[in-house]
Structure 1
């Protein structure tokens, strides 16, 4: 039997992966996303309603269901980046990484020595996947990804230096916050021409550095544009939004 590729392997060989976005505090939604055809689910601990316990249970559900678990942490929550990896997450997306120092801090918590200083003991990941700790440790730094969010003018200006940080696997664009911060708080325009041009530039520089370019997509058109721009890892489809949209249609069935 051929061993299932991890998400890092898929992205490194050039595959495009679209992930669902989970903001609601129940592993049931992760299960439903997998049954609906998604192969990856991104758990939003920054703005979503999930607690760390919800994330732990969702990660287990995703692994058992054959999917890839991705987790976005809160700002500066580096300690939980390590913990979420220990639970079995394959990718950590960290928001507001604005400098080389921020990127190095992320790597420190996501990678084992000598790249970082992640502590040994991924109990959740090994129990759920059925691997030993030695087996997990032998390939963890290659099979788990540390991804820095680019969502401020400071991060954009420092992009090439951030991408050069050893152990950082790629970047993930937060297009709403990037447009908000670049405009000095005046506009949230993730698909304005200027925003799309900046997003394309980020993807090109990231791919040129040999790293993974990811982005949050706000519409189907934005998803297609992002793929054409060079993004490999894209999130599209949020549980709360999808549920409310479908529920709204159902509620109007007799109108």
Structure 2
């Protein structure tokens, strides 16, 4: 199976589903859709350690890329997510260089980081059998994506990208807009927000690292792609069900 890190390094556009419902059966159903990756959300979704462990099984079994967004400050969960078989971890509220360093330390084995050794479940799910090979390649094959969603983080994007072990950034445009407008409104499609986000993508490319974003309006993917973004998370279970039901009912009613 081609790894997520390999796809992004080649410049492929990768589309991820977003899962907030902590049920492996729902995740299994999503894994049957056309998304290449599935992101399990522990920050605002209902996923916890147990559901992440269970949900990564159908993801890896379906040859999809498993991504986990951990809760704020739960860097210990970053290591656990990797041990469960995740290929990438998104960490929210990385607002300082020290935040980025702490996150990277839990994501990478020595000498780059401080991740401890217990990969056997992840190795099994990824079809790997050689521990030495796993150790040798894991730092390259697992992705630490720092979220940029505040003015503080935006001002430090270059420094955050420069931290060893940080493989890229992930933008949360709704939170970014709230911070940008100092809590006065939420507007992720405002033109100055779009321009600022595009600047983040260009900075990531210039640093030789990856850029991802949660997409609130699918037609904006092309604009962000031109700015260097290659990892795009779109919708969630509620959106998929609502749009699917709407399409089915529209087709049924049109036949009357």
Encode CA deviations 1:101-151: one digit per residue, 9 max, x unaligned. Answer: 000000000000111100011122012223233332221100000110000
Does 1:210 find its partner at 2:208? Answer: yes
- Within a 5 Å distance, the mapping from 1:1-255 to structure 2 comes to 4-132=1-129, 133-247=131-245
How far did residue 189 of structure 1 move? 0.7
Contiguous gaps of at least 5 residues in structure 1: none
Which 10-residue stretch deviates more, 25-34 or 49-58? 25-34
Distance (whole Å) between structure 2 residues aligned to residue 15 and residue 244 of structure 1: 29
Q: CA deviation at 1:225?
A: 2.1
Q: 1:140-193: CA deviations, max 9, x gaps?
A: 100000110000000000111111101110000000001101211111111110
Instruction: Find the residue that maps to 1:92 and give its secondary structure.
Output: strand
1:14-59 deviations in Å (ceiling 9; x for gaps): 1111111111112223322232211111111110111211111111
> What is the aligned residue count?
252
Residue aligned with 2:147, SS = strand
CA contact (8 A) 2:204 2:228 kept: no
Partners of 1:154 and 1:221 lie apart in 2 by: 28
Q: Distance in 2 between matches of 1:28 and 1:136?
A: 29
RMSD: 1.6
Conserved 8 A contact 2:19-2:27: yes
Q: Which consecutive residues of structure 2, in runs of 5 or more, have no partner in the other structure?
A: none
TM-score (norm 2): 0.94
Q: Could you list the structure 1 runs, at least 4 aligned residues long, displaced by more than 4 angstroms after superposition.
A: 248-255
Q: What SS does the corresponding residue of 2:166 show, helix, strand or coil?
A: coil
Classify the secondary structure of the residue corresponding to 1:46. Answer: coil
Distance 2:195 2:243 in 1: 30
Q: Counterparts of 1:166 and 1:130 in 2: how far apart (Å)?
A: 28
SS at match of 1:38: coil
